[in-house]
Amino acid sequence: MTFDKLQVKHFISEPITIQFDSAPLHPKSPPCPNGFTWRKRAYPIVRCLAEWKDFGRRGRMARNMQPQHAAVAAGRGSWGVGRFFFDVETEDRELFRIYYDRAPKDAGDREGHWVLLAELAHQTNNKGDG
């Protein structure tokens, strides 16, 4: 049996608090954190399995930019738009997908927020295992 990729085991989509050993140089473009807290439990991260960015504009933000500017923004992001995704393994060998959403919640909270999107599991490939 071999492991091919990760699949969503449970969808969660709840806010988390993250921990960094050192504060990120650019908080709106963060690296993978060193751990997170969810439902009052700490989850130290031991390994980042994958990471990617999505600068797609959603909702009304998708309609407020000229197409040529939207194409540039989709490649590098723009203020308050974008998500940084991380598939991580915790100290207890649990697998999760977390992300940082750069969108401010309101005028008083312009920092963006972190979300625990899902618990993951390895998708197995039984080809050739007889």
State the Cα–Cα distance between residues 113 and 38, nearest whole angstrom. 13
Q: 38 lies in a domain?
A: yes
Q: Give the domain extent around 100.
A: 2-125
What's the domain count of the chain?
Answer: 1
Give yes or no for a contact between 44 and 21, defined as CB atoms under 8 angstroms apart.
no
Q: 130 lies in a domain?
A: no
Q: 94 lies in a domain?
A: yes
Give yes or no for a contact between 33 and 116, defined as CB atoms under 8 angstroms apart.
no
Instruction: Indicate whether this model's pTM tops 0.85.
Output: no
Half-sphere exposure of 94 (CA within 13 A, CB side): 16
Q: 36 lies in a domain?
A: yes
Q: 117 lies in a domain?
A: yes
What is the chain's pLDDT, residue by residue, as a tens digit (130 residues)?
A: 444 588 999 999 999 999 999 999 988 889 999 999 999 999 999 999 999 999 875 655 555 545 554 454 545 555 568 999 999 999 999 999 999 998 877 666 678 899 999 999 988 766 655 4
Give yes or no for a contact between 79 and 69, defined as CB atoms under 8 angstroms apart.
no
